[in-house]
A and B are shown apart, each in its own frame.
Chain A
Amino acid sequence: MYDLFLTGASAVFHFWTLVGIACGVAGGLVIGAIPGLTSTMAIALLVPITYAMKIEFAIPLLMGVYCGAISGGLVGAILLNIPGTPASAATCLDGYPMAAKGQVLRALGLGVYSSMIGGVLSGLALVFIAPLLAKVALSFGPWEYFSLVVFTFSCISAMSSKGRSVKAFMAAFIGLAIALVGLDEASGQVRMTFGFTALESGFSVLPALIGLYAIPQLLSDTDDIGQTPRVLNVNFKLREFTAAFGEVLSRKRDLLRSTVIGIVIGILPGVGPGLSNIVAYGQARRASKTPEKFGTGELPEAVIAPETANNASMGGALIPMLTLGIPGDASTLMMLGAFMLHGIDPGPLLFRDHGDIVWIVFISFFVAFAFCTVFYHMFIPLTVKAISVPRQYVIPVLLILCTVGCYSLNNRMFDVYCFLGFGVLGYLLHIARIPVLPVILGLILGPMAENQLRLALAFGNGSVLPFFTRPISCLILVVALASVVLPLIMNRRQSLDLAEIRD
């Protein structure tokens, strides 16, 4: 293990790798700060370009973008009252009122330092939990893996907004159906291609991923053109900014609670910082002696809680991605795509066969947060300027970069057409208010589900009983069923209670 740590450290602390992480963090901070451009978009833009890079350089670079983009969201939330990323949605509630009272640097300082502490603590959780979970996962057979895929989809359904859980399932089945297209490796037969030879190798995952995320978002972003953002003025004074550090440290209970919330929600497949910040804000309010002051911009914990939780989710989201190959959120889903692009399949075997890569992920995670903290002290005014760039200049540039990225994967226009096709599909789903994440999960986890189901049935001579007789598989399936049924029962009970109150 020590050797692997040293190999990982020597790769990350190489001069050009550090430059790569620094550039990734800087780019991520800028993209994350611009409302509407998420960390997922930032990673999506970069993943295809990393194809030509060595994985020892590509992964730290992507980690830099990931950490920078999630952290950058707080700038837009505090200065514009518009979260840069969904991960900072709850930060707006008190960050902006605090800044509007003339305490801009206090609000930013609270956000930055709590983000960093949440991120570092979740990094520690990642280092300690991931190897243990990988050891447990080594004992998993195809039954447990297939059950895990079922659990992932049930999680997405459970986390969907009220009345949308069946739609989330439909989205997942769209992804699974798309994953059917192409060659069936086991039987050697081509399926669902409708005679198109270009489809025989199936759809490349990355153009589909980028199209589904980027095109709907860029089309929606055109609505903001011509609207001049009202950015609060920032007169940066280092002493005033760093004073918030002591204030953050004095809120140990809030830090700890929000970190735990962030990590746990991060570990759950399919949900991440977008949910954890809201839950942490709600819990901080519930635990507060003065809950009525939430939303007024007076309480530091109202900024600390969501910002700690969203960054804590990052380490949490990496745990299932690295150990099981199941992404914790949309950004780690893109990271999963990056690993696959470089011929590495995340899962328990990653820890056995590519321990150095695992350590590169761990170490670059901490280094990225260090850069993030330093950059926030140096470049806050620059980040503030970035959020004022008119959208009409940003949108075509991002669209072109996506196109170039998709083309450069295989040097073929077919991938670019797929990017457009999936973009239109994503836009139609966006109109129908159907979440895109289950489609992508279906697309990525479809082949895994098929292979594991086939193996499970082959090992069991066609019997499905082992899914229920093997304890871990059965437990996962029970939890999956509970995560679908319980919200339905709770919603039903809520409706009955409301009806009783009305009567």
Chain B
Amino acid sequence: MRTTDLLFSAAYLLIFIVLGSQISHLDSSSSATVSAQLYPWLVIGTGVLVGVIETARTLLASHGGGEPGFSELWNRALAPRRLLLLGLFVIYLAAITSVGFLSATAVFTFVTMIALSPRRDLKTFVVALISTAALVGFIYVLLVVYLQAFLP
């Protein structure tokens, strides 16, 4: 957990320093009493300070007993089913504009249900098919008929 904490603190500080570099682009020479740079500086500056405190705290702290180790934590975070779901969802979003929203939704729902199932028998296929049809029908009624939205 300590390594993960340090990694997080490093990423956090890096992002805040990058954001801080953007503040100088703001024009503070307006006639307003309060400079346009004041609040961003307050947020980024205090944010960096908090990040430094946390980094120092993590470095000085003794190893926490009972907390998951680096490899255990990341093995759980990168579990195959989690990555599969995230990967399929990213592909689905990328496919929407080329394949069409309803077709992409139907394919994603069906494929994800099958892919996530621990057993792939006839019952799973039938339930996935019925669920997909019901979901697509519901979305069509909701988006097109009720909300009268344009499909992507």
Report B's interface with A, CB cutoff 8 A. 1, 4-5, 7-9, 12, 15-16, 19, 22-23, 25-27, 30, 32-34, 36, 38-40, 42-44, 46-47, 50-51, 53-54, 57, 61, 64, 73-74, 76-77, 79, 81-82, 84-86, 89-90, 93, 96-97, 105, 108-109, 112-113, 116-118, 127-128, 131, 135, 139, 142-143, 146-150, 152
Contacts and interface: CB of A to CB of B under 8 A. Distances in A.
Contacts of A392: 112-113, 116-118
Contacts of B61: 163
Nearest to B25: A191
Residue of A218, A408, A446, A458 with most chain B CB atoms under a 10 A cut-off:
A408
A434 B8 contact: yes
Given A392-B117, A431-B74, A457-B34, A177 B93 contact: no
11 contacts: A52-B146, A170-B9, A173-B43, A174-B47, A186-B32, A225-B118, A393-B127, A393-B128, A396-B109, A397-B135, A427-B86
Given A173-B46, A395-B112, A461-B33, 6 more contacts: A163-B64, A222-B85, A226-B118, A397-B131, A420-B93, A458-B32
Nearest to B68: A433
B116 A395 contact: yes
Contact of A407 (B32, B54, B118, B152): B152
B54 A167 contact: yes
Contact of A400 (B73, B81, B109): B109
Contacts of B53: 166
B105 A400 contact: yes
A450 interface: yes
A396 B112 contact: yes
Contacts of A403: 93
A210 B92 CA distance: 18
Contacts of B25: 191
- Which 3 interchain pairs have the tightest Cβ spacing? A173-B47, A226-B118, A187-B36
Contacts of B16: 173, 177
Contacts of B89: 399, 420
A192 B118 CA distance: 45
